Structure 1
Amino acid sequence: MTPPLTNLITPGLAPDILLRQIYLNVRDFAIFTMDADGKINSWNIGAELIFGYTPEEIIGQDVGGLFTVSDESDGEHRLEMAQAGQYDRAADYRWHRRKDQSHFWADGVLTPIRDAGGEIIGYLKMLRDITERKLAQDEMRRLATIDVLTGLANRAAFDARRSEMVSLAERSGQLLLLLMVDLDQFKEVNDALGHQAGDQLLQQAARRIRAVSRESDYVARLGGDEFALLQLHVPSPSSGGVLAEKLLHELALPFVINGREVKISASIGIAVCPVDATTPDTLLKKADLALYHAKNAGRNRFHYYTEELDEVAHRKNADHNELRRVLHNGSYWMEYQPILAADGRVIAVEALLRLPGFLGQQPVEYVISLAGELGLLPELGKGVIWRACAQLRCWLDAGISGVRICINTCARELQSADYLTQLDTVLGAFQLPAEAVEVELTERDAIELERSGSQIIEHLRARGIMVALDDFGTGYSSLSYLRALPVSTIKLDKSFLRDVPSSDDANAVVKMVIKLAQDLRLNVIAEGVESAEQAVFLSDSGCGAFQGFLYTPALAVDDATTWLHQHGAGRR
């Protein structure tokens, strides 16, 4: 049993009056006691006002009920009692729970009550509600870390976060990009329109930077017209160039300040951790140097600190712009390579995309990836389909019949919502039957579609459109998928024909694949046939069709038309 509190008060102080004053009149502090097990056994008016419980409701209850649900579950009240027992006091600076389940922030202390022998027989708790002060302090701390004008992080917060993210990048092996962004012509705007207009420009620029960046990116205003962006978890350093290009585009768009259109640009410097630097200060220094380089080179551009990265990123930027120009002007074209049956008949023609200049010297996969990055893949695919089908219509009208047109595509294009509608429109426009078109995609793309649960190949086949696996055997575990993929044709990659027919091992592999395809009721086309010996071997092995330099390389449209006429296409 807890002894009377009068035993703890020095004689002569009228303890009963003092206790009555404390328990009945001290309203700003909650004062209560509990026994050694944590059961509350006294409760003052201040505790009643702060917590909302009357003495009748709370006395006899466990003190854990005054803590938040989380803290009670974690046993924080028991830990506090243990600390008070060990150190004769325990500070209480945490959220607490009222009767109505609302929370308040408390500042208090718990002290043990001991008997004459020093044994703990209870505890005395005193605390007060300082929620308003706590929230005010939190707001002050928040304001200390943000730039009041733009709402972004400020320089102090950026310096602290930069150190944290460099350490995280080092521990996790992730790349960390630092982009320093400086607004060009900002001083001119300030001088011409005044500081208020300059402030509006900074606010709008901050919103654009935040909108372009990822939610996980850390964006700060360092002061004046300088901003910084930290980006973690990027696939490669060149991601910085892609983001910088977007920022330059957005910041070059007109700003409207007080009803007046204002145009500026930006310069961006990029440094990569750990490629360029492994410490926070060095990373910042190198990004600053890259920014200086961008401004000296004429502004409205970005530069990497590393010259090699700079060259790669700018090459891709130039390629993006070139592809946009090519598609806008329609300055790409198609070449055509015939496919022949074993008896020499022309059964199909593959349409191959060709582009001018530097892009035309790159693998078509690179061009497709550029189009995907720019969101232009549907536009490019639509153009290829229209041109190829238009040419087939011309050949049919010229008496070249009995051939189908083979059109290359990829998983991303096939996953477009309107792909089938677009294909139906083209077939209708040129009055082509579905069997006149064969869609070719690589094994990798076909497997990607199958794994994603896409039904596009089934829909194509249901329409009567043939589907071929291009470059079959180039290393994507195709054999295990052949049974599941609803394709009609496989095109043996030219790598299969290396050392055929001179190598018994190479011959055995080709025969095995052709036999497997036959068992699965698939057509087989051999790509890259360059010699008569290869053609004879493939024919004897059961291969049904051939394509390659032995017959003809890909031809411009007029040459292809002449070739088809000369080789009897359309005559049976």
Structure 2
Amino acid sequence: MTLPLKTVIAPALAPEILLRQIYLNVRDFAIFTIDTNSLVTSWNLGAELIFGYPPEEIIGQSMVRLFTDADQVDAEHLLEMQTADRWDRAGDYRWHMRKDSSLFWADGVLTPIRDDGGQSIGYLKILRDITERKLAQDEIRRLATIDVLTGLANRAAFDTRRSEMVSLAERTGQLLLLLMIDLDQFKEVNDMLGHQAGDLLLRLTAQRIRAASRESDFIARLGGDEFALLQLDAPSPADGGMLAEKLLAELTMPFMLGEREVRISASIGIAVCPVDADSPDGLLNKADLALYHAKNAGRNCYHYYTEALDMIAHRKNAHHAELKRLMRHKHFSLAYQPIVDHDGNAVAVEALLRLPGELGRQPIEYTISLARETGQLAELGKWIVREVCAQMRRWLDGGLLGLRVCVNSCAHELQDPGYLAQLQAALADHGLTSDMMEIEITERDAIELERSGSNVIDQLRQAGYRLALDDFGTGYSSLSYLRTLRVTTIKLDKSFLHGVPGNADANAVVRTVVQLAQDLRLNVIAEGVESQDQAAFLDNAGCAAFQGFLYSKPLSADDATRWLQTHLVP
């Protein structure tokens, strides 16, 4: 006989008892409700423990205070309610803020509480604190992209970032440099001193590469003794060579491995995107070929993939070394070109830097850029000012009075906080006054100073210095700037004189610029005057002074002294 099966059902737990248990005893989950205005209407023990608010402080307050500042700005609590209304639930995976402003990572859900008609009358929120799990997962992900030995990015992260940066360079038109760096004597160190010493050498190498590069550069250890550096938004391809020189200098300095001093070197290959390649793999292949070239060339050197860039970069770095040598021994001089009035009497001289050898055959602007790149511009400028002041003192002591000297400067030099002080000190040391010196800057530099918000031009004017716009007409050539730039003089570039006085259009341009300058109470000096016809036209147009080979070429200090003795009115 088969007995019928019986279903056994436990007595139902009263809802009020169940709720009391949830709200008074559940500690690991925050459970609370809010109304449609996001105001908290109930709050369990777990919520109090996790968030730090007792019920009497939070009930009736907006849920927004539980979110981070950034999420509050984005109104994430309202977006969460909207999502729950639409989909019957809203996941909550984000940082939340406790009463003491500390943060924790939450894993939770918000569900709507609906009436019999299906309308939301509130919301139930359940979440828990999983910060430890979140941090552990983040650490696992971080370790997947980090070279544990050096702390740099690993090969996987490098491949990902290389693709991202090539794409960014393509979209923005920026230059992207890739430097492949391989240590030359690492295997010998590893074999001789052991793997522990080799590991230490790799860590120290990573530190030196990081210290020598920009903060925004991406650096990775690809494996073994090979490193890579990605630099986006490089000013020019030649900057890769400058960085490579810096890295080579750092890596040839001795390393201390315990009590042993070890010396190594490196080989570096450089490729430029998009000059050499416009794809991630293409860029890597070109940099690898350049590295191979560097190793075959004897190591402790760098090479570009492109032969032309390689030649330019090595030439520029040779010039860097030459300038450093000249600066160390002060192997340069000043020449002085007279500036005269319409009667041919000297009113001023312009000090011009002269260098020997290869650098002496380059435009002076090139030398200034080299000095800036090597960090020697301030030192060079200080030497020029001191030399000028010493020469002015000699002329004054020799009875050559009423003369001013014009000194060229640039925005980078003028923005040095100590520029004005060292200028004043040089004058004081030689018993000179500021009205004896005129500072010449180009249009581009003057406008750069204005746009940067620098007030150095005003400071120089207030201190009594004259300010001149040099080479006017070769830069921005916007006449509107003459109204805003606080200068005393403009120097018409010699390009204005092409065709003067035989060409009517050229004559009209010169007359217009001179007249405008006079209306703005500016002095006008014409540069590059080479004929009497030009001088006569410029004098008639209203130029106050003239400079050029018609009157004198740049002279040595001794020759300038003899010239001034016959052309300076007592």
Q: Deviations over 1:185-212 (max 9, x none)?
A: 2222223332222222221221222222
Q: Deviations over 1:512-536 (max 9, x none)?
A: 3333333344332221111111122
The answer to whether the 8 Å contact 1:440/1:470 transfers is yes
The answer to whether the 8 Å contact 1:33/1:122 transfers is no
Is 2:401 the partner of 1:404?
Answer: no
Partner of 2:298: 298
Is 2:326 the partner of 1:326?
Answer: yes
Opposite residue 75 of structure 1, the aligned amino acid is L
3-state SS of paired residue (1:159): helix
Shift of 1:364: 0.9
Opposite residue 83 of structure 2, the aligned amino acid is L
Compared CA separation, residues 39 and 494, structure 1 to 2 (3 A)? closer
Is 2:12 the partner of 1:12?
Answer: no
**Separation in structure 1 between the aligned mates of residue 525 and residue 48 of structure 2, nearest angstrom:** 88
Compared CA separation, residues 457 and 119, structure 1 to 2 (3 A)? closer
**Separation in structure 2 between the aligned mates of residue 50 and residue 343 of structure 1, nearest angstrom:** 91
Partner of 2:351: 351
Q: Which moved more, 1:304-313 or 1:416-425?
A: 416-425
Partner of 1:315: 315
TM-score normalised by the chain length of structure 2: 0.84
Shift of 1:368: 1.0
The answer to whether the 8 Å contact 1:24/1:44 transfers is no
Partner of 2:567: 569
Shift of 1:353: 0.9
Shift of 1:174: 2.9
Compared CA separation, residues 369 and 120, structure 1 to 2 (3 A)? closer
Q: Which moved more, 1:374-383 or 1:466-475?
A: 466-475
Tell me how many residue pairs correspond in the alignment: 557
Mapping 1:31-430, distance limit 5 Å: 70=71, 72-80=76-84, 82-84=86-88, 104-105=104-105, 129-430=129-430
**Separation in structure 2 between the aligned mates of residue 14 and residue 143 of structure 1, nearest angstrom:** 53
Compared CA separation, residues 372 and 114, structure 1 to 2 (3 A)? closer
Opposite residue 202 of structure 1, the aligned amino acid is L
Opposite residue 412 of structure 1, the aligned amino acid is H
**Separation in structure 1 between the aligned mates of residue 125 and residue 483 of structure 2, nearest angstrom:** 75
Q: Deviations over 1:201-248 (max 9, x none)?
A: 221221222222222222211112111122223333233223222222
The answer to whether the 8 Å contact 1:268/1:291 transfers is yes
The answer to whether the 8 Å contact 2:347/2:568 transfers is no
**Separation in structure 2 between the aligned mates of residue 173 and residue 392 of structure 1, nearest angstrom:** 49
**Separation in structure 2 between the aligned mates of residue 530 and residue 280 of structure 1, nearest angstrom:** 55
Compared CA separation, residues 469 and 132, structure 1 to 2 (3 A)? closer
Opposite residue 339 of structure 1, the aligned amino acid is I
**Separation in structure 2 between the aligned mates of residue 120 and residue 537 of structure 1, nearest angstrom:** 89
Partner of 2:553: 553
TM-score normalised by the chain length of structure 1: 0.83
Opposite residue 382 of structure 1, the aligned amino acid is K
Partner of 1:534: 534
The answer to whether the 8 Å contact 1:443/1:478 transfers is no
**Separation in structure 2 between the aligned mates of residue 407 and residue 437 of structure 1, nearest angstrom:** 7
Compared CA separation, residues 175 and 340, structure 1 to 2 (3 A)? closer
Shift of 1:128: 5.7
Compared CA separation, residues 486 and 136, structure 1 to 2 (3 A)? closer
3-state SS of paired residue (1:220): strand
Q: Deviations over 1:243-279 (max 9, x none)?
A: 2222222222222221433222222212222222232
Opposite residue 569 of structure 1, the aligned amino acid is H
**Separation in structure 2 between the aligned mates of residue 122 and residue 387 of structure 1, nearest angstrom:** 83
Opposite residue 12 of structure 1, the aligned amino acid is I
Shift of 1:381: 1.2
Opposite residue 207 of structure 2, the aligned amino acid is R
The answer to whether the 8 Å contact 1:526/1:543 transfers is yes
**Separation in structure 2 between the aligned mates of residue 458 and residue 31 of structure 1, nearest angstrom:** 63
**Separation in structure 1 between the aligned mates of residue 321 and residue 519 of structure 2, nearest angstrom:** 48
Q: Which moved more, 1:104-113 or 1:548-557?
A: 104-113
Compared CA separation, residues 11 and 469, structure 1 to 2 (3 A)? same
**Separation in structure 1 between the aligned mates of residue 340 and residue 78 of structure 2, nearest angstrom:** 77
**Separation in structure 2 between the aligned mates of residue 65 and residue 421 of structure 1, nearest angstrom:** 53
Shift of 1:97: 6.6
Shift of 1:380: 0.9
Q: Report the aligned-residue RMSD.
A: 3.9
Partner of 1:446: 446
**Separation in structure 1 between the aligned mates of residue 280 and residue 248 of structure 2, nearest angstrom:** 25
Opposite residue 508 of structure 1, the aligned amino acid is A
3-state SS of paired residue (1:182): strand
**Separation in structure 2 between the aligned mates of residue 571 and residue 45 of structure 1, nearest angstrom:** 98
Shift of 1:397: 4.0
**Separation in structure 1 between the aligned mates of residue 414 and residue 55 of structure 2, nearest angstrom:** 72
Compared CA separation, residues 313 and 17, structure 1 to 2 (3 A)? same
**Separation in structure 2 between the aligned mates of residue 555 and residue 228 of structure 1, nearest angstrom:** 51
**Separation in structure 1 between the aligned mates of residue 560 and residue 12 of structure 2, nearest angstrom:** 113
Compared CA separation, residues 61 and 13, structure 1 to 2 (3 A)? farther
Q: Which runs of 5+ in 1 are unaligned?
A: 1-9
The answer to whether the 8 Å contact 2:440/2:470 transfers is yes
Compared CA separation, residues 149 and 399, structure 1 to 2 (3 A)? same
**Separation in structure 1 between the aligned mates of residue 426 and residue 34 of structure 2, nearest angstrom:** 86
**Separation in structure 2 between the aligned mates of residue 191 and residue 81 of structure 1, nearest angstrom:** 67
The answer to whether the 8 Å contact 1:402/1:569 transfers is no
3-state SS of paired residue (1:479): coil
Compared CA separation, residues 115 and 555, structure 1 to 2 (3 A)? closer
Compared CA separation, residues 400 and 76, structure 1 to 2 (3 A)? same
Q: Report percent identity of matched pairs.
A: 65
**Separation in structure 1 between the aligned mates of residue 414 and residue 123 of structure 2, nearest angstrom:** 72
The answer to whether the 8 Å contact 1:528/1:549 transfers is yes
Compared CA separation, residues 14 and 134, structure 1 to 2 (3 A)? farther
The answer to whether the 8 Å contact 1:30/1:48 transfers is no
Shift of 1:29: 6.5
Q: Which runs of 5+ in 2 are unaligned?
A: 1-6
**Separation in structure 2 between the aligned mates of residue 39 and residue 483 of structure 1, nearest angstrom:** 61
Partner of 2:4: none
Partner of 2:503: 503
